[in-house]
């Protein structure tokens, strides 16, 4: 009898293993990509970035009780919160920390009129429009997106104290999924306007109940409108 088999029998099993194995391999790669996109490696959440000056929000906000708007002066009227010019820093530091070496670059910036090169923490894609003034005037607190800035302090056990000590990090991913949580249920996030810059404010009644009152008071549109693509992409 003539054997017409060209390949050995085990090749049938091998081909099945390769086909199904490839499916699970590709699915595994896609799942790993999904996990990476949600991790700090991709989002940057919780990853402290070194700055040219170890500016401590904790000291300025909590210890010195400086209002956010003193430095971020355009946050109530502009899409951008604004970064303070060196002249703003020197309003205090012509009297405070005169001989501190940490402030050498601040003094040099002031003398030469060259701005400090701060490392940006939040940077949305160009196709996303975000307006600080709208959110602030509708009762969205700074802490909602930026986290507890008054608790962001240097971590000496991880980062040696020097002029590159990172003292600020990204608190929220600002992905579309994260933003839509608020746009779908704004009552869970809005607060009285006078408490927007109070990082330690707590509602005196259930947040959802207060939020529903403020939605009407501040004329916040419903979720059907807030989840339209052209609200953030135009």
Q: Which residue has the higher pLDDT, 179 or 59?
A: 179
> What confidence tens digit (pLDDT) does each residue in 61-111 have?
988 999 999 999 999 999 999 999 999 999 999 999 988 888 999 999 999
pLDDT at 43: 82
Helix (H, G, I), strand (E, B), or coil: what is residue 57? Answer: helix
Question: Which residues, at least 6 apart from 188, have a Cβ–Cβ distance to it below 8 Å?
Answer: 182, 207, 208, 211
pLDDT at 2: 47
pLDDT at 37: 67
Q: Which residues of 50-84 are buried (b: 16+ CB within 10 A; e: fewer)?
A: ebebbbbbbebbbeeeeebbebbbebbeeeebeee
Query: Quick one: what percent of the chain has pLDDT higher than 90?
Result: 61
Q: Which two tokens stand for residue 213?
A: 């009152």
* 146-162 mean pLDDT: 69
Q: How far apart are CA 182 and CA 99, in angstroms?
A: 46
* 116-120 mean pLDDT: 91
Q: How far apart are CA 81 and CA 197, in angstroms?
A: 13
pLDDT at 34: 63
pLDDT at 28: 76
- pLDDT range class, residue 158, cuts 50, 70, 90: very low
pLDDT at 1: 44
* 198-213 mean pLDDT: 96
> What confidence tens digit (pLDDT) does each residue in 22-47 have?
877 787 777 776 666 667 777 889 88
Q: Which of 14-28, 44-58, 144-158 reaches the highest mean pLDDT?
A: 44-58
- The partner residues of 45 in beta bridges, in order of sequence, read 170
* 120-143 mean pLDDT: 95
State the average pLDDT for the chain: 87
pLDDT at 215: 97
């Amino acid at each position: 009898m003539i054997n017409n088999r060209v390949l050995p029998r085990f090749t049938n099993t091998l081909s099945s293993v390769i086909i199904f194995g490839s499916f699970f391999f590709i699915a595994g790669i896609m799942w790993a990509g999904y996990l990476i996109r949600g991790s700090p490696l991709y989002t940057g959440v919780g990853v402290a970035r070194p700055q040219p000056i170890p500016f401590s929000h904790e000291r300025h906000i909590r210890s010195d009780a400086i209002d956010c708007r003193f430095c971020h002066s355009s946050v109530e009227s502009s899409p951008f919160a604004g970064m303070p010019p060196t002249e703003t820093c020197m309003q205090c530091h012509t009297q405070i920390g005169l001989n501190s070496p940490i402030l050498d670059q601040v003094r040099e910036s002031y003398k030469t009129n060259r701005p400090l090169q701060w490392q940006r923490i939040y940077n949305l894609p160009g196709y996303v429009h975000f307006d600080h003034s709208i959110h602030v005037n509708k009762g969205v607190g700074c802490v909602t997106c930026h986290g507890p800035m008054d608790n962001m302090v240097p971590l000496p056990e991880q980062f040696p104290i020097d002029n590159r000590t990172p003292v600020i990090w990204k608190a929220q991913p600002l992905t579309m999924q994260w933003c839509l949580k608020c746009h779908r249920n704004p009552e869970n996030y809005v607060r009285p306007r006078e408490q927007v810059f109070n990082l330690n404010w707590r509602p005196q009644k259930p947040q959802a109940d207060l939020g529903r009152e403020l939605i009407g008071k501040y004329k916040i549109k419903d979720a059907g409108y807030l989840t339209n693509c052209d609200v953030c992409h135009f």
